[in-house]
Amino acid sequence: MLETFTDRSGGVSQGVFTSFNLGDHVSDDPADVQANRALLASKFGPVQFMNQVHGSRIAIIESVTDEAPTADALVTGIAGLSLAVMVADCIPLLLTSSEAVAAVHVGRRGLVNGVAVKTIELMREMGARKIRAVLGPAICGRCYEVSQEVHDEVVALHRLASAQTASGTPALDLPKALKTSLTAIGVSDINDLQICTVESPDHFSYRRDGITGRQVGLVSL
């Protein structure tokens, strides 16, 4: 069983992408991204990426290919297949069980769309019983400032997502809301690393930097 998260160290990318950028859609040198992905594969074996669109589509993976399915969650019941979720502030959620594992991209829209809950339901259909959840580095409630309208829209569905910045402006605490949703559907083994990407210089953050790289959460059975 593999559960791990990369940070921005250990790669070959330069400038704002220094150095272990794994995103191939952020204007980094494609050769550097491929070199970084090769480094990842040399350590963890072939890795399946996805084309994330802030939706709720789930792709079941039976083999690793260069074709990235358009989805916001990858699930497999086959041992040895590494699944990746790319992030730079959204929550990289890893779900594991003895029968299946999943990598899930949970941002604001993913939380509203219920992508994590839908993924767990699919894992249970695949025979998963005791599911463990790990929340990797993501933007925290103090840093995720939003408009009052966006705040109210999310809080209408996830009351505990409500937060404030240090200056008292509306914000969203996505990790807190996600953990509440997981608990509500019977997932009790939850580990939140509680690392804020905005506050951590060791991680890429779109909110902090704008043009930046992507780190990944990686899981395999």
Can you list the residues of the chain whose pLDDT is less than 50?
none
Sequence ranges of the domains in the chain: 2-140+200-220
Measure the CA–CA gap between 4 and 37, rounded to whole angstroms: 15
Q: What angle do CA 218, 181, 54 make, to 5 degrees?
A: 55
Backbone angles phi, psi at 83, to 5 degrees: -110, 135
Structure tokens, 36: 């970084």
Backbone angles phi, psi at 64, to 5 degrees: -85, 130
Question: Model confidence over 62-90: pLDDT tens digits?
Answer: 999 999 999 999 999 999 999 999 999 99
pLDDT of 52: 97
In words, the CATH class of domain 2-140+200-220 is alpha beta
Is 6 within 8 Å of 218 (Cβ atoms)?
Answer: yes
Q: What is the secondary structure of 139-207 as a DSSP string?
A: --TTT-B--HHHHHHHHTT-GGGEEE-TTS-EEE-HHHHHHHHHHHTT--EEEE----TTT-TTS--HH
pLDDT of 116: 98
> Which residues, in sequence order, are CB contacts of 31 under 8 Å at separation 6+?
none
State the residue for tokens 């990686």.
218
Is 101 within 8 Å of 83 (Cβ atoms)?
Answer: yes
pLDDT of 97: 98
Backbone angles phi, psi at 76, to 5 degrees: -145, 150
The secondary structure element, H or E, covering residue 101 is strand 101-106
Is 17 within 8 Å of 203 (Cβ atoms)?
Answer: no
Measure the CA–CA gap between 79 and 93, rounded to whole angstroms: 19
